[in-house]
Amino acid sequence: MKEYVDLLHNNYPAVSYIFVFLFGIVVGSFLNVCIYRIPEQQSIVTVPSHCMSCGKKLHWYELIPLFSWIFLRGKCRGCKAKISAQYPLVEAANGLLWCLVLFMKGPTLDFVLICALFSALLVMGFIDARTMEIPNGIVIFILLIAVLRALLHIFIYKEPWLDFVLGSVIMGGVFFLILFISNGRAMGGGDVKLMFAIGLFLGLKLTVFGLVAACVVGSVIHLTLMAVKKVGRQLAFGPYLAIGFAISVLWGNLFINWYMTKFFV
């Protein structure tokens, strides 16, 4: 199977990118469902898709990711209520991110696991931005793919296991300590579990790099927002963590190697 995938990707890269993009926006439309329903504790599989204002059930042609929203010009066919631009945005973002991962990693097992992580981070970022909470379900999902990825890298790619173990133990431990000392004021228990899972997925080096990237991106964006839109000091850190870890997976090693050769050789 691996040979066929490589053959297709090497000879017809456009085909594999289009396929990944289309599959990405289909999953993206499921991510929208997760973003809206997980905080409401609604089922993400059994309730059929419906208009948020009039409750009209949606036909199959109103459920085509990205294209339906454009075709309907962002309005419900029943009640003409506006459909949030967040729907096509999340779908397009997921499709484009998956293409970016394909570009960076090629058609490998690692590519599949990183795509899964990116989609989970996308959902986490949007939910945390709205509710200031990181849902348990997302953390458990990230933990699951982290275990798979650590096994893949240790047993198939033959990488040292220590970095992954240290990543989860140290990151989880440090954040647990902050939680304990601050008596839950600095962060929630969700952050501790998230750091444990991310630490296992990325390993120690890349997790630390991701945190630094999140702080840099977070302060730049938040300070700009505070100046322009007069938003408060209250900061949902989840979206920035998501961006930081995504940067770290794709470019972290590149940056760390560049930094090491520049300053330590």
> Closest distance between Zn ion and the C-beta of residue 73, in Å?
14
Smallest distance from Zn ion to CB 5, Å: 42
In the complex, minimum distance from the CB of residue 195 to Zn ion, in angstroms, rounded to a whole number? 40
Angle at 126 between CA 253 and CA 75, to 5 degrees: 130
Q: 75 forms bridges with which residues in the sheet?
A: 82
* Shortest distance (Å) from residue 211 CB to Zn ion: 42
Q: By CB under 5 A, is residue 79 in contact with Zn ion?
A: yes
Going from the C-alpha of 85 to that of each of 72, 73, 88, 122, 263, the distances in angstroms are 12, 10, 6, 15, 45
Residue from 22, 26, 51, 109 that binds Zn ion (CB under 5 A)?
A: 51
Listed in sequence order, the residues at least 6 apart from 227 whose beta carbon sits closer than 8 Å to its beta carbon are none
Q: Is 83 in the site for Zn ion (CB under 5 A)?
A: no
Considering the rule CB under 5 A, would residue 54 count as an interface residue with Zn ion?
yes
Question: DSSP strand E in 3-112: where?
Answer: none
Phi then psi for residue 57, to 5 deg, are: -70, 145
Q: Residue 55 Cβ, how far from Zn ion at the closest point, in Å?
A: 7
226 binds Zn ion (CB under 5 A): no
Q: Return the number of the residue (68 or 207) whose C-beta is nearest Zn ion.
A: 68
For 37, residues 6+ apart whose C-beta sits below 8 A from its C-beta are: 43, 44, 47
Specify the stretch interacting with Zn ion by CB under 5 A; choose among 54-62, 128-136, 143-151, 191-199: 54-62
Q: Does 63 bind Zn ion (CB under 5 A)?
A: no
Q: What are the phi and psi torsion angles at 71 (to 5°)?
A: -65, -40
74 part of the interface to Zn ion, by CB under 5 A: no
Q: How far apart are CA 198 and CA 232, in angstroms?
A: 28
Beta bridge partners of 57: 50
CB of 43 to Zn ion, least distance (A): 21
**144 lines the binding site for Zn ion (CB under 5 A):** no
Closer of 76 and 142 to Zn ion (Cβ): 76
| Closest separation in Å from C-beta 77 to Zn ion | 7
Among the residue ranges 36-44, 47-55, 131-139, 173-181, the one whose residues contact Zn ion (CB under 5 A): 47-55
- Binding of Zn ion at residue 177 (CB under 5 A)? no
Tokens 């839109």 — which residue? 229
The sign of the dihedral angle between the CA atoms of 58, 59, 60, 65 is negative
Distance CA 30, CA 64 (A): 11
> Residue 80 or residue 262: which is nearer to Zn ion going by CB?
80
Q: Find the binder of Zn ion among 39, 78, 137, 188 (CB under 5 A).
A: 78
Q: Considering the complex, what minimum distance in angstroms separates the CB of residue 75 from Zn ion? A: 8
Comparing CB distances to Zn ion, the nearer of 55 and 160 is 55
- 192 class by beta-carbon count within 10 Å (0-12 exposed, 13-18 middle, 19+ buried): buried
Query: Interface with Zn ion by CB under 5 A: which residues?
Result: 51, 53-54, 56, 76, 78-79, 81
